[in-house]
């Protein structure tokens, strides 16, 4: 009986470890998905775009990168002005 209880506890521990591993993997995948998410920004204000970038960026990128991301190509009809 004691052996059976030991085995059962070991199985429960293994199952818990596996569950934790799956949860970590899901968290990693969600983070990866957030980093590669495509956000349509054509109808958003500059501030809204900046907020989305901040939320999606785990580490604050240099401001130059953010400004580049917010600047439309020269041929683009939208002109962004600093707020």
Q: Is residue 12 part of a domain?
A: yes
Q: Is residue 29 part of a domain?
A: yes
Whose tokens are 């939320």? That residue is 55
Identify whether residues 25 and 50 lie together within a single domain: no
Residue 21 has pLDDT above 60, yes or no: yes
pLDDT at 17: 94
Identify whether residues 15 and 27 lie together within a single domain: yes
What total of structural domains would you count in the chain?
A: 2
| Residues across the chain | 83
State the average pLDDT over residues 8-21.
94
Residue 48 has pLDDT above 60, yes or no: yes
**Residue with more model confidence, 8 or 56:** 8
Q: Is residue 9 part of a domain?
A: yes
Q: Is residue 33 part of a domain?
A: yes
Please count the other Cβ atoms lying within 10 Å of the Cβ belonging to residue 24.
10
Q: Is residue 15 part of a domain?
A: yes
Q: Which domain holds residue 65?
A: 40-72
Which residue, 47, 49, 27, is CA-closest to 38? 49
Measured CA angle at 15 (ends 14, 18), to 5 deg = 85
State the average pLDDT over residues 22-39.
84
Q: Is residue 8 part of a domain?
A: yes
Residue 3 has pLDDT above 60, yes or no: yes
């Amino acid at each position: 009986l004691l052996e059976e209880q030991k085995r059962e506890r070991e199985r429960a521990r293994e199952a818990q470890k596996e569950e934790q591993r799956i949860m970590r993997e899901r968290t990693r995948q969600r983070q990866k998905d957030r980093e590669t998410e495509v956000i349509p920004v054509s109808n958003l204000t500059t501030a809204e775009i900046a907020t989305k970038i901040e939320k999606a960026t785990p580490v604050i990128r240099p401001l130059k990168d953010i400004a580049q991301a917010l600047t439309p190509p020269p041929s683009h009809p939208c002109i962004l002005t600093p707020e």
